[in-house]
Amino acid sequence: MKKEAKYTEEDYHKNYYSGLSGKLMRQNHVILEKFNFGYTEKILEIGGGFHPHINFVKSDFKEYYCLDIETAENVKEYINKNYKDIIFDYYDGKKIPFNDNYFDRIVISHCLEHILEPEKFTYEMMRVLKKGGIISVALPCDPGLLYRFGRFIFKMVMEKRSVDYDHDYHAACEHVNSIFNLNVILKKKFNVIKEEYFPLRLKVIDLNLFLILQIKK
What is the C-alpha separation between 165 and 114, in angstroms, rounded?
18
Say what percent of the chain tops pLDDT 70.
Answer: 91
pLDDT tens for residues 13-39? 556 677 888 899 999 999 999 999 999
Average pLDDT value for residue range 110-118: 96
**Sequence-ordered alpha helix ranges (H) in 102-178:** 118-128, 145-160, 167-174
Side chain identity, residue 4: E
What is the chain's mean pLDDT, rounded?
Answer: 90
Query: Do the bridges between strand 129-140 and strand 210-216 make them parallel or antiparallel, or are there none, so unpaired?
Result: antiparallel
Cα-Cα-Cα-Cα torsion 145, 151, 154, 156, nearest 10 degrees, comes to: -90
Domains, the chain, ordered by start: 9-216 (3.40.50.150)
Average pLDDT value for residue range 136-161: 89
First to last CA, the chain: 48
